[in-house]
Amino acid sequence: MNEFSEMISILKWPLLACLMLPPLLVYFGLHILRREVIFVDLALAQVATLGACVAILFDVDPHDWQSYAFSVGFTLVGAAIFTLTRTRKDHRVPQEALIGIVYVVAAAGGILLLNNSPHGNEELKQTLVGELLYLQTPAQVLLPFALYAAIGAVHYIFRQKFMALSFEPDRAEREGWSVRGWDFLFYTLFGLVVTTFVHIGGVLLVFSYLIIPAACANFLGRKLGTLIALGCVVSTLGSVTGLYCSYAFNWPIGAAIVCVLGAMLLLVRVGVAFRKPKTTSA
């Protein structure tokens, strides 16, 4: 009991962050899978990181709000790029290729900007693993949760628009909606979610929370409500197990959760492959 109490006291706020924030990431992950722009979150995360690198050049502390403002500004630019490059008619250069280019250029730009920084390597590493272990105050979790709740409310109010853009794009175009305008709003809100979580969990963890639970859910269900519920179950189990492994084996928290989520995806895929198909009686 003493060991359990010690673990909870150390990991209380990281645990709450991993339980309260990922559900919105799961929801966005379902959109991303359906849009087939799998690496857009990595690209936006890297663009946000590039903004933080620029802030460092202006002697802004990475933990100050000004650094976050730089990240958000660069994320809006990335949202505009992905909105303008979305096309369903011209496949000569798929959008996924352009997303990869944005990611690579942003990553290279960050390396160049921090090349002469005395703590450049440490700062680049921090963008990958985040600061999940150092969450120690309610504000570090509740403020991002409030932002996520507001973004979730916007998606709920305009759910028909957002769902149609991702799941029924032909209907959106046929009915004459402002596809680019709604797409920009989608990527802007998505970018805010990614930017906020990158500061908490790092690039690797935000990608894992977005894609792995959504992929598991798509293997197991079909209806949207079922997909969201399954994805939340996967993210919760992965978070709790990963945090326990981190404490028990002294592993980095983010890497532990990512590996546990990866193992869960493997188990789900193997289970689905060996699941006997239903037989119908003649």
138-174 b/e with 16+ CB inside 10 Å = b?
A: eebbeebbebbeebbeebeeeeebbbbbbeebeebee
| Residue 233: CB atoms within 10 Å | 15
CATH of domain 2-271: 1.10.3470.10
Q: What is the pLDDT of residues 40-72, one digit of tens each?
A: 888 988 898 888 888 888 888 777 788 888 988
What is the value of pTM for the model shown? 0.87
Compute, in degrees rounded to 10, the torsion defined by CA atoms 260, 262, 265, 269.
-130
166 closest CA partner among 178, 152, 153, 179: 179
> What's phi and psi for 72, nearest 5 deg?
-65, -40
Tens of pLDDT along the chain (282 residues) come to 577 777 888 889 999 999 999 999 999 999 999 988 888 888 988 898 888 888 888 888 777 788 888 988 999 999 898 888 776 555 677 788 888 999 999 989 988 887 877 666 666 666 666 778 788 889 999 999 999 999 999 999 999 899 988 888 877 777 777 788 899 999 999 999 998 998 888 888 999 999 999 999 999 998 889 999 999 999 999 999 999 999 999 988 988 999 999 999 999 999 998 876 655 444
Amino acid at 116: N
Confidence at residue 126, expressed as pLDDT on a 0 to 100 scale: 67
Separation between Cα atoms, residue 246 and residue 96, nearest integer Å: 34
Separation between Cα atoms, residue 199 and residue 196, nearest integer Å: 6
Q: What is the pLDDT of residues 223-243, one digit of tens each?
A: 889 999 999 999 999 999 999
135: Cα separation from own chain's centroid:
18
Percent of the chain that is helix, strand, coil (3-state, to 5): 80, 0, 20
Confidence at residue 262, expressed as pLDDT on a 0 to 100 scale: 96
- Straight-line distance from the first to the last Cα atom of the chain, in angstroms, rounded to the nearest whole number: 58
Q: Where are the domains of the chain?
A: 2-271
With H, G, I as helix, E, B as strand and everything else as coil, classify residue 30: helix
Confidence at residue 243, expressed as pLDDT on a 0 to 100 scale: 93
| Residue 121: CB atoms within 10 Å | 12
